[in-house]
Amino acid sequence: MTRHVHLLDPPAADALAALRERLDPAVALTLGPETPRPARYQVLVAGRPGPEHLDASPDLCALLIPWAGLPEATRELMARYPHVAVHNLHYNAVPAAEMALALLLAAAKSLLPMDRALRAHDWTPRYNPSPSPLLHDKTALILGYGAIGQHLARLCRALGMHVLATRRHAERASPDDPAAVYPPEALNHLLPQADVLLICLPHTPATDGLIGAAELAQLRPGAVLVNVGRAPIVQEAALYQALRDGTLHAAGLDVWYHYPPDEAARAHTPPSRYPFHTLENVVMSPHRAGAVRDKEGHRMAHLARTLNAAARGELLPNPVDLDAGY
């Protein structure tokens, strides 16, 4: 069975060649912002399609967003096309989980201030009492047990940690899961058990401001927070104050509250209205968890596997719930 696929925003030539090499012969690929004539594609690959792209093909049954997440404009548009299933591409799950682990270790072990001191030839920190907690046998709580959270759970288990997690559909958890999985409503029950809080959630109305001062205060003393989801899930002022006052031992943050509005502002945009950069117990990363060498190659490999599954008549992975926002 031939599956017709239209790729709205083609990648660079080398990435496109890598995609074509991996595609089954049953996948017929068309490219570009102009819709083919006649338009008979069943799958549209696009993050921000317009209604003209959705209306062009009477055979359209699936929109594949070629990254993790759902732009708000796309969510609103797709609500008008209930017959078109929406799916994500989770090619960045493993890199994001690795970044979360790197941030956890760097923050918990105070690596950056130790590095700065030794670069100045100062060995004093070696002879002071160590602020670093032992992670082995501690409990990590992962908020958001999707592709990133599941891989991160395996990494935490490899460190000898106990892992708890929240998931919107906790009933789908398997006995083989590396984490004990609970519904989001169990959050207040889980927070007092957590030495480490790992945030992998999408930003939706339900998760906006989910973690504030009261939630941070419920964590075990000396807890570490890592956020590779979206910054507004954690209330900005509460996070800064908890780090400044020592309620949290440390944090590793890859997502922020302010972003450069354009290319000219990239070299001088503070990531928050609070001076996180003055705190020794924060590891700051400029939203680059998914940035790895040959990122496009990884994305094309995942895209090819997904399109090949569609050509075989299999259910596409990573369905998106428009009402939930992910």
Q: Return the SS3 of 32.
A: coil
pLDDT tens column, 203-213:
999 999 999 99
pLDDT tens column, 130-172:
989 999 999 999 999 999 999 999 999 999 999 999 999 888 8
Residue 279 pLDDT > 90, yes or no? yes
Quick one: fold of 3-91+294-311?
Rossmann fold (3.40.50)
pLDDT tens column, 66-85:
998 899 999 999 999 999 99
Residue 29 pLDDT > 90, yes or no? yes
Rounded to an integer, what distance in angstroms lies between the CA atom of residue 31 and that of residue 45? 10
Compute the CA torsion angle 166, 111, 92, 205 (nearest 10 deg): 40
Give yes or no for a contact between 228 and 255, defined as CB atoms under 8 angstroms apart. yes
Residue 293 pLDDT > 90, yes or no? no
Please give the single-letter amino acid code of residue 128. Answer: N
Question: Span 106-116, mean pLDDT?
Answer: 97
pLDDT for the residue 140: 98
pLDDT for the residue 303: 96
Positions of E strands within the chain: 3-7, 27-31, 43-45, 62-65, 85-88, 139-143, 162-166, 180-182, 196-199, 223-227, 248-253, 282-284
Residue 290 pLDDT > 90, yes or no? no
Please state which CATH number belongs to domain 93-284: 3.40.50.720
For the whole model, what pTM was predicted? 0.92
Q: Return the SS3 of 140.
A: strand
pLDDT for the residue 172: 81
Rounded to an integer, what distance in angstroms lies between the CA atom of residue 294 and that of residue 297? 5
Domain with CATH 3.40.50.720 in the chain: 3-91+294-311, 93-284
Question: Span 253-268, mean pLDDT?
Answer: 97
Residue 48 pLDDT > 90, yes or no? yes
